[in-house]
A = this chain, B = another copy of it.
Amino acid sequence: MDRQKTKNGMLGAEVRTDLALEAGERLQNDNAVPEGLRVEKLPCEDGAAVITRVHVESGEAARRMRKPIGTYITIEASALAGEDEGYHGKISELLSRQIRELLPKGEQRELLAVGLGNRAVTADALGPKTIDHLAVNRHILPFYREETRKKTFTVLSAIEPGVMAKTGIETAQVVQSIVRSLKPDAVLVLDSLAARSIHRLYTTIQISNTGIAPGSGVGNHRNAIDCETLGVPVIAVGIPMVVDAATIVRDALGDSRRQPVEQTEKKAAAYLEKLQNMYVTTKEIDEMTERLSFTLSEAINALTKRE
């Protein structure tokens, strides 16, 4: 969530969201779906969740979506905001299968999990807290019996690279250093997301094979955490924990005006400027971060077992 934000020039034109699903919906509402954008609803398992795949397949689609070319899987699971452990377990399994499909196939693979974000900032702590609960096995695998080792499909290790404001180092550089030394088969990046709609807080999981690209689908790639910079596939998994304050206001203005007058827009734009760096969330964020970090970690831990 710490990556550089897109500058949105025009009021109401585009809203910031980390969810490809929301970006796609926006374009659909505006009757502006570009070529190369394909949305696929999956037949869902027992109604527990809705799974959607957004395929961004052209440069034009990437530019309009402000998301890199790739596949974005969204699990909408409204009961995730609740306490039902059985439900969380079910979504963990579902998530695990979705991640598995994006991972490189093979006899045995090695996976490095990366917990992005700042654990000292509640709104940004989901990644580091997920790392806390992972059952890493890379260091103990040499001590396993042959039999056990064969049963373990994925070798798992994990790091928390910290945030640049605290380390003085670009997060991408920290991750690249470790990846060069460990040479994993894939990297799994865990992060807090920002959504457009408050209904998505705590209830939507996005899995993508695009990694984390600061800014948008275009431009400077030096600080991306993706297949290009790391040299291995990068799967990103995240859950919206906040909504940009400016987005909320923009949406409210959009809802309440049909034909925005030029002058009105200017005023509103000045107001929105004030909202930079402000975010909207609920009092449950501390508790939800704790609980959802378990749900994510369970999904990843399940990867270490052969299906």
Residues of A near any B CB (own CB < 8 A): 118, 120-124, 131-132, 134, 136-140, 155-162, 164-170, 173-174, 176-178, 180-182, 198-199, 243, 245, 248-249, 251-253, 255-257, 264-265, 267-268, 271-272, 274-275, 277-283, 285-287
Report how far A257 CA is from B268 CA in the complex, Å: 9
| A285 CA to B169 CA, complexed, in Å | 23
- Cβ–Cβ contact A177 & B181, under 8 A: yes
Integer count of this chain's copies in the complex: 4
Report Cα–Cα, A71/B156, bound state, in Å. Answer: 39
Whether A271 and B245, one on each chain, are in contact in the complex, defined by CB atoms closer than 8 angstroms, is no
Residues of chain B contacted by A165 (CB below 8 angstroms): 136, 139
Whether the pair B245, A248 counts as a contact (CB closer than 8 A) is yes
Neighbouring B residues of A271 by C-beta, 8 Å:
251-252, 255-256
Tell me whether A121 and B283 are in contact (CB under 8 A): yes
- Cα–Cα distance between A134 and B167 once the two chains are bound (Å): 9
Q: Indicate if the CB atoms of A176 and B181 lie closer than 8 Å.
A: yes
Contact A283 B287 (CB under 8 A): no
Q: What 6 A-B pairs are tightest by C-beta distance, nearest first?
A: A136-B168, A138-B168, A157-B168, A177-B181, A177-B177, A249-B252
